[in-house]
Structure 1
Amino acid sequence: MSVTEDPGESSELVTLKTSSLTSVVEKEIERLILGGKLRPGERLNEFQLANRFGMSRGPLREAMRSLNAKGLVDVVRNRGVFVREIPVDEALEIYDLRSAIFGLAGRLLADKLTDEMLSKLKGFLKTMDEHAANGDFDAYYPVNLAFHAFLVTSTGNRTLVREYQSFVDRLHLCRTRTLVQAKGLSVSNYEHREMVDALASGNLSRAHEAFFRHVQRAKLRFLSTLEEPGDGDRAPQDKTAT
């Protein structure tokens, strides 16, 4: 994946190759962060990453700048680049913003729901019910993410999708598995069913409320995972289904 200048290539082509490489590397590092392979607080070793991807440090630094702009890494002067750690107070603010955007998504979607969309949503619910019955978080969680992504993208509002996804990505840095215990997965999917029923009713206000309330409940579940409610310093590194 290294970028080398061919004497016969134009500077524009070299720039395009570098830009393309930066984008590929950025997506791969983002995947490692969101997948938990690179943990919050972990230092990203520039030399090791350059070797891993077989590239020069220039495109890698561009990728880091972009990830910093997305709020996924922190660039600390004279120390390096670190996977971002989200403090509890910031996580709660993100939950509030996410609930507002998700509520709007419910209102918009209720006005354009088709039989085909409804059928697909019911398919998601059925699959998640099966995984919840087996207590299989690892199978449940990706379907849960796909369900939410389908709801948001189906609004057709690209700006809403982009902003919503940025909040979801940042929350990945401070949440993982809390709904494995008790009947958490089933509770979460019960809320999903409330949302789908609200959409099917065609009532915009009801859909807005169901979507908004779902994220607010997720926020309460997140709060319940804090080891010491008064500590307010850092979010636990565990995923919650929403």
Structure 2
Amino acid sequence: MLNRAELGKEADVVRALEEDIIFGRLAPGTRLVEDVLLARFPVSRHAIRQALYQLERLGIVTRERNKGATVRRLAPDEVLQIYAVREMLQRQAALMIPLPAPASLIDELTELDRVHGEHVENGSLRGIHEANDRFHLALFSACGNKYLVESIEHYMELSLPVRAKSLADREQLEISRRHHRMMIEALAGRDSWVLAQLCVDHLQPSKQLYLEGIGRAGET
């Protein structure tokens, strides 16, 4: 059992490794060796193992018996299957949001979009990532079904390696910002299908960017 201080250190390890993985400093397939991590982080071996367990739960690390932990590498069919589920979940959640949405939701999303834009301008990858997730979870929470929202959040986590590739791509970020504004506009209207399609279309650029990267890697 970890004490409070160890739990805090474990969280620091998870955050640091998560950033290294999703922002490309640790490439897919990289082994995460406990002794190397112990040399980097002043924590116990148990805390390191718990951190790796948490990263496995996030879907960005895989652990195999007698092989240890590695940064997860998603195959093309895995990407397509994960995104097929994300599309179904997000479309359904969008269709369940009562329109026109209340001004409080539109104001909240407008502010989150502003914060997201500031992080884009400042080049803060962590800020972009966190503001983007807050925007989408606030949006889908309006569907009123917490279990559906939890499922969406789970698949957002599974797709972290895919989504992260677009964080440093300015063209992709501009597309994302434009989609956010279009979603906010749709919330003020009455056409749920328009909103639902926007939520599905929003997933495509990062998915395609990742799949193209896999294709180029396979050609080398």
- For the superposition of Structure 1 and Structure 2, which TM-score range results when normalised by the shorter chain? 0.7 to 0.9
Q: 1:115-141: per-residue Cα shift (whole Å, max 9, x none)? A: 111112223445556776x5x543782
Runs of 5+ unmatched residues, structure 2: none
For the pair 1:177 / 2:155, whether they are aligned, the reply is: no
Give the aligned partner of residue 32 of structure 1: 16
Q: How much identity, in percent, do the aligned residues show?
A: 23
Partner of 1:236: none
Partner secondary structure for residue 203 of structure 2: helix
Whole-angstrom CA distance in 2 between matches of 1:226 and 1:159: 33
For normalisation by structure 1, the TM-score amounts to: 0.68
User: d(CA) in 2 for partners of 1:47 and 1:189?
Assistant: 41
What is residue 56 of structure 2 aligned with on the other side? 68
Q: Identify unmatched segments of 5+ residues in structure 1.
A: 1-14, 234-242
RMSD: 3.5
The correspondence of residues 102-113 of structure 1 with structure 2, limited to 5 A, is 102-111=90-99, 113=101
Secondary structure, aligned partner of 2:202: helix
Aligned: 1:91 with 2:75? no
- Residues 179 and 64 of structure 1: CA distance in aligned 2, closer, same or farther (over 3 Å): closer
Letter in 1 for 2:124: D
SS for the counterpart of 2:216 is coil
Query: Partners of 2:35 and 2:87 in 1: how far apart?
Result: 40
**Structure 2 residue matching 1:95: 3-state secondary structure:** helix
C-alpha distance in 2 between matches for 1:232 and 1:114: 50
Which TM-score applies when normalising by structure 2? 0.73
Larger Rg: 1
Which of 135, 141, 144 aligns to 2:128? It is 141
Superposition deviation, residue 61 in structure 1: 3.1
Aligned residue number for residue 54 of structure 1: 43
Q: Please, which moves more after superposition, 215-224 or 96-105?
A: 215-224
Q: Distance in 2 between matches of 1:191 and 1:148?
A: 11
SS of the residue corresponding to residue 82 of structure 1 reads strand
CA distance in structure 2 between the aligned counterparts of 1:92 and 1:61, rounded to whole angstroms: 30
CA distance in structure 1 between the partners assigned to 2:144 and 2:219 by the alignment: 37
**Deviates most, 68-77 or 138-147:** 138-147
Structure 1 pair 28–108 and aligned structure 2 pair: CA distance change class (3 A): farther
Q: In the superposition, relative to structure 1, how do residues 28 and 178 fare at CA in structure 2: closer, same or farther (>3 Å)?
A: closer
